Amino acid sequence: MWEAFEHAAHYELDNLTAIIDVNRLGQRGETMVGWNTGVHVERARAFGWSAIEIDGHEPEEIDRAYKEAAEVSGRPTVIVARTIKGKGVKAVEDKDGWHGKALDDPDAAIDELGGIRNISVDVAKPDAAEPHRFETGELELPRYELGEEVATRKAYGEALAALGSARGDVVFEMYIAEQQLLAACVGLQARGWNAFGSSFAAFFSRAYDFIRMAAISRVNLRLTGSHAGVSIGEDGPSQMALEDIAAFRAVHSSTVLHPCDANQTARLVATMAETDGIVFLRTLRPNTPVIYDADEDFPIGGSRVVRSSDDDDVTIVGAGVTVHEALKAAESLEDEGISARVVDAYSIKPIDAQTLQAAAEATGRIGTVEDHWPEGGLGDAVLDALADSDDRPRVLKLAVREMPHSGKPDELLSAYGIDAEHIAAAARQLVGAEVAAS
Amino acid sequence: MWEAFEHAAHYELDNLTAIIDVNRLGQRGETMVGWNTGVHVERARAFGWSAIEIDGHEPEEIDRAYKEAAEVSGRPTVIVARTIKGKGVKAVEDKDGWHGKALDDPDAAIDELGGIRNISVDVAKPDAAEPHRFETGELELPRYELGEEVATRKAYGEALAALGSARGDVVFEMYIAEQQLLAACVGLQARGWNAFGSSFAAFFSRAYDFIRMAAISRVNLRLTGSHAGVSIGEDGPSQMALEDIAAFRAVHSSTVLHPCDANQTARLVATMAETDGIVFLRTLRPNTPVIYDADEDFPIGGSRVVRSSDDDDVTIVGAGVTVHEALKAAESLEDEGISARVVDAYSIKPIDAQTLQAAAEATGRIGTVEDHWPEGGLGDAVLDALADSDDRPRVLKLAVREMPHSGKPDELLSAYGIDAEHIAAAARQLVGAEVAAS
């Protein structure tokens, strides 16, 4: 909680009151500080909060504390309440071993507490006022020229700024604290805002429990993770997101998007703002060439067949940086008489099963290529889309299979087997295997 | 870091000295506290640490601080060092916008710093003494009778206790702080211990970044997550791990195990202790019947065909609680004349591709069933194992596809489509689909 305390004090949230219920007992034995409420007070003050100690069983003290808290200016307030776990029921009061357990005799316990079985208390409702709206204008997404070299992370930032101007969204600085970034996004959306959270994709692993709980709470979040995969180059594996697609696919209500060019990114950012659930957009550090016109549309659940013919021998499915490698591979394969279809699966969840099934039927062989670990990413999504179809093609998955070193992006795409050359080799292998098997 | 500060003080780690390098600047602009070193001192003291403020550019002050820190008893010490980012190179000294960037003129910067290009400093090496070893005896794993009803989480605890007695391992209490649990495990293994970390499987999501970094640091960890899936019953979705298999499969060097009975659990716990990398064992809250003899062996990468005949029509692959549901489904299918093979894929990563390929060849249809989201779990692992094989069966994946409610375990397995009845229906559908397609 201390990162939350730090941020709340930094932003001088004097309309925030926290309560610490200090009941001494954990699930198993005493907590680290037991009933030492002074420890909480001292820590809270060191983090810039006002703190009030009370007996949590005394209504007058509770009332007084709330009144005091409301009067504090420029700082949040924490009420540190000393309480007794199970108070009023002798069988369990202040006793170890009763956490999350049903009572042996619930009727006796209710009698001991005074016998009242239904209490209805009216409390003041939270302020349901509409949040402040900034002035807005027409949405003018950034537009990039075909062939231009632009990093999708840059296109994301420019598209988000455009979206903010058009929709009255707001950007908060959360410093290096991804859990607080998520918490703030959840809070903002609960108050009617359209929250976009941005960090390195790898660092969302820091907030994976917050993302998980946001999904359980049916929150709508738009999260963008940059610096995906080995294509970031020199910064090394700690900064390379290689598990993010797997982690976000396995979040209920999630959408996972991975654009390959700047115009596609800009359009998807606009679409994210309208999409419910946990929407994750994966962007790239290096520049990639613009291959789509600024007016093209990219619906959630769609894909784009960027290269095809009537007699394709094999299909290559990529997303993000690997779309460009797949296109290069298709060109070199053409010289050898192998015709490769290339699918840009920018929507990894939901994935465009129909286009993949059509490609499976037409070509009978599929290679997937992703700048990600082999588990839980694009390749698994493609296999899932074809698992139950009548045409079940041979699928070769190219992915990063060793812990990467630092290096230049092109060197790393090659070293870890996901560049044009490796894609072409996989395509040759697929064509050869089917010939051998037939 | 504050959870780490709290634990270090709680365990009175007076051989621990931390250094905060307070250089004022973040990646973008000033940090929340800038050069206000007093804030760090006040907070550290509130968390039970000794704190020393110094000028981080003064060797005498650094020396004095280290000496003082070594003399403090019963508490860890933090040295709060005020420093200037880029000190000595005027082009960047205390300037914003230079984080993680190469200098324009590195040669000039070296000249400005005195021109020395190679400095070799000998420092005291860390104490490489062998860690303390507890007295140990023979390994006597717990043994469970066939048909006995035991929760695998209970078998895990009993097996771990047996392993501790035999190997001299140790159990730490980390309170509710999964990140600190992981950090302690990493530290213990660096000092030559064999660290087992245990929590609810869902709560490892809190420490996903620590797990990710442990893999990058080539750490050997044994982690056990209990309370997997909807089979936990009443506690509701916040406690149900439904993404843990996906998250752990997407960790480099990981092994993912999911036993279905108490004897299998006990044997796998012993095997974990010998397995390098990040080993994750997923255990269950409810009792499950013992179906394996206590002397059976369960190697990593193996599986167990728990039911089969010479003319099976379909294969059902389960793990954990779904193995038992699959067995029940196979019994009811037999009455209808459908012969179902049942595979217990207790090793989900690596998965037993050979057994799955043989089942694919023999039965041509596979149903997978898991108490997990559909993404990145057992089903995806099975599809991956068959992606490139000559026999590519039709695969139906049963998994939890809605956000679960609270309920009795059996009710939930049924409500979310992964109980015996749904498995039998999927098997019928698979058999029917193949008949229709042929």
Contact A216/B403, CB-based, under 8 Å? yes
In a mutational test of the B interface, the residue from A235, A375, A394 whose CB has the highest number of chain B CBs within 10 Å is: A375
Identify the pLDDT of residue B169: 66
Identify the pLDDT of residue A171: 64
How many CB atoms are closer than 10 A to CB A106?
Answer: 10
Contact A249/B252, CB-based, under 8 Å? no
Count each helix (H run) and each strand (E run) in chain A, helices first. Answer: 14, 15
Q: Which residues on chain A are in Cβ contact (under 8 Å) with B240?
A: none
Task: Tell me the C-alpha distance between B321 and B289, whole Å.
Answer: 10
The continuous run of DSSP H or E covering B17 comes out as strand B17-22
- pLDDT tens over chain A, length 438 residues: 899 999 999 999 999 999 999 999 988 889 999 999 999 999 999 999 999 999 999 999 999 999 999 999 999 999 999 999 999 999 999 999 998 888 999 999 999 999 998 889 898 887 777 777 777 888 899 999 999 999 999 999 999 989 888 877 666 778 888 999 999 999 989 888 888 999 999 999 999 999 999 999 999 999 999 999 999 999 999 999 999 999 999 999 999 999 999 999 999 999 999 999 999 999 999 999 999 999 999 999 999 999 999 999 999 999 999 999 999 999 999 999 999 999 999 999 999 999 999 999 999 999 999 999 999 999 999 999 999 999 899 999 999 999 999 999 999 999 999 999 999 999 999 999 655 555
Q: Which residues on chain B are in Cβ contact (under 8 Å) with A395?
A: 387-388
Closest CA relative to residue B166, chosen from B142, B136, B211: B136
A324 close to A289: Cβ distance less than 8 angstroms: yes
Residue of B nearest to A215 (CA): B403
Question: Is residue B176 within 8 angstroms of chain A, CB to CB?
Answer: yes
Please state whether beta strands A287-289 and A278-282 pair in parallel, antiparallel, or not at all (unpaired). unpaired
Q: Which residues of B are catalytic?
A: 178
> Which residues lie closer than 8 Å to A237 by C-beta, 6 or more apart?
A403, A404, A405, B216
**Which residue stretches of A346-402 are H helix?**
353-363, 378-386
Instruction: Give burial (CB, 10 Å; 0-12/13-18/19+) of B432.
Output: exposed
Q: Which residues on chain B are in Cβ contact (under 8 Å) with A206?
A: 208-209
Residue of B nearest to A237 (CA): B216
Question: Is residue B350 within 8 angstroms of chain A, CB to CB?
Answer: no
* Residue B233: pLDDT band with limits 50, 70, 90: very high
The 10s digit of each residue's pLDDT in B53-83 is 999 999 999 999 999 999 999 999 999 999 9
Q: Residues of chain B with pLDDT > 90: what percent?
A: 84
Instruction: Calculate how close chain A gets to B96, using CA atoms only, in Å.
Output: 15
Identify the pLDDT of residue B433: 67
Identify the pLDDT of residue A433: 67
Identify the pLDDT of residue B127: 74
Question: Is residue B46 within 8 angstroms of chain A, CB to CB?
Answer: yes
B242 close to B378: Cβ distance less than 8 angstroms: no
Long-range contacts of B108-116 (CB under 8 A, 24+ apart): B112/B88, B113/B88, B113/B89
The continuous run of DSSP H or E covering A365 comes out as strand A365-369
Question: Is residue A209 within 8 angstroms of chain B, CB to CB?
Answer: yes
B76 close to B50: Cβ distance less than 8 angstroms: yes
| Closest Cβ–Cβ partner in B43, B208, B384 for A383 | B384
Cis peptide before A350 (omega within 30 of 0): yes
Interfacial A residues in 212-241 facing B (CB < 8 Å): 212-213, 215-216, 218, 235, 237-238
User: One of A158, A178, A243, A370 is an active-site residue; which one?
Assistant: A178
Identify the pLDDT of residue A436: 56
* Residue B436: pLDDT band with limits 50, 70, 90: low
Task: Tell me the C-alpha distance between A355 and A360, whole Å.
Answer: 9
Task: Tell me the C-alpha distance between B380 and A384, whole Å.
Answer: 7
Question: Is residue A51 within 8 angstroms of chain B, CB to CB?
Answer: no
Strand, helix or coil at B408? coil
What's the alpha-carbon Rg for chain B, to the nearest Å?
Answer: 27
Contact A376/B47, CB-based, under 8 Å? no
The 10s digit of each residue's pLDDT in A253-303 is 999 999 999 999 999 999 999 999 999 999 999 999 999 999 999 999 999
* Residue B52: pLDDT band with limits 50, 70, 90: very high
Cis peptide before B350 (omega within 30 of 0): yes
Please name the amino acid found at residue A201.
A
Strand locations in A181-303 (E): 196-200, 221-226, 254-257, 278-282, 287-289
| Closest Cβ–Cβ partner in B208, B387, B395 for A397 | B387
pTM of structure: 0.93
Task: Tell me the C-alpha distance between B270 and B156, whole Å.
Answer: 10
Identify the pLDDT of residue B288: 97
* Residue B172: pLDDT band with limits 50, 70, 90: confident
| Closest Cβ–Cβ partner in B173, B205, B235 for A209 | B205
* Residue B197: pLDDT band with limits 50, 70, 90: very high
Q: Which residues on chain B are in Cβ contact (under 8 Å) with A172?
A: none
Residue of A nearest to B32 (CA): A10
A and B: number of Cβ contacts within 8 A: 166
Strand locations in B258-327 (E): 278-282, 287-289, 304-307, 314-318
Task: Tell me the C-alpha distance between A1 and B206, whole Å.
Answer: 13
| Closest Cβ–Cβ partner in A175, A247, A393 for B26 | A175
Q: Which residues on chain B are in Cβ contact (under 8 Å) with A202?
A: 212
Q: Which residues on chain B are in Cβ contact (under 8 Å) with A397?
A: 384, 387-388
Contact A380/B377, CB-based, under 8 Å? no
Please name the amino acid found at residue B146.
L
Contact A213/B375, CB-based, under 8 Å? no
Task: Tell me the C-alpha distance between B232 and B240, whole Å.
Answer: 7
Residue of A nearest to B368 (CA): A387
Strand, helix or coil at A318? strand
Task: Tell me the C-alpha distance between A295 and A298, whole Å.
Answer: 10
Question: Is residue A40 within 8 angstroms of chain B, CB to CB?
Answer: no
Could you confirm whether A361 is annotated as catalytic?
Answer: no
Contact A208/B203, CB-based, under 8 Å? no
Mean pLDDT along residues B121-129: 81
The continuous run of DSSP H or E covering A394 comes out as strand A394-398
* Residue B130: pLDDT band with limits 50, 70, 90: confident
Contact B39/A46, CB-based, under 8 Å? yes
Residue B437 confidence (pLDDT) above 90: no
> Which residues lie closer than 8 Å to B420 by C-beta, 6 or more apart?
B325, B326, B328, B329, B332
B210 close to B221: Cβ distance less than 8 angstroms: no
Identify the pLDDT of residue B252: 97
Question: What is the C-alpha end-to-end distance of chain A, expressed in Å?
Answer: 62
How many CB atoms are closer than 10 A to CB B316?
Answer: 33
Interfacial B residues in 369-408 facing A (CB < 8 Å): 373-377, 379-381, 383-384, 387-388, 390, 392-397, 403
The 10s digit of each residue's pLDDT in A54-99 is 999 999 999 999 999 999 999 999 999 999 999 999 999 999 999 8
Mean pLDDT along residues B395-407: 97
The 10s digit of each residue's pLDDT in B108-123 is 999 999 999 888 989 8
Contact A209/B206, CB-based, under 8 Å? yes
Residue B87 confidence (pLDDT) above 90: yes
> Which residues lie closer than 8 Å to A27 by C-beta, 6 or more apart?
A99, A100, B176
Residue B410 has which token pair? 């059996």
Identify the pLDDT of residue B171: 64
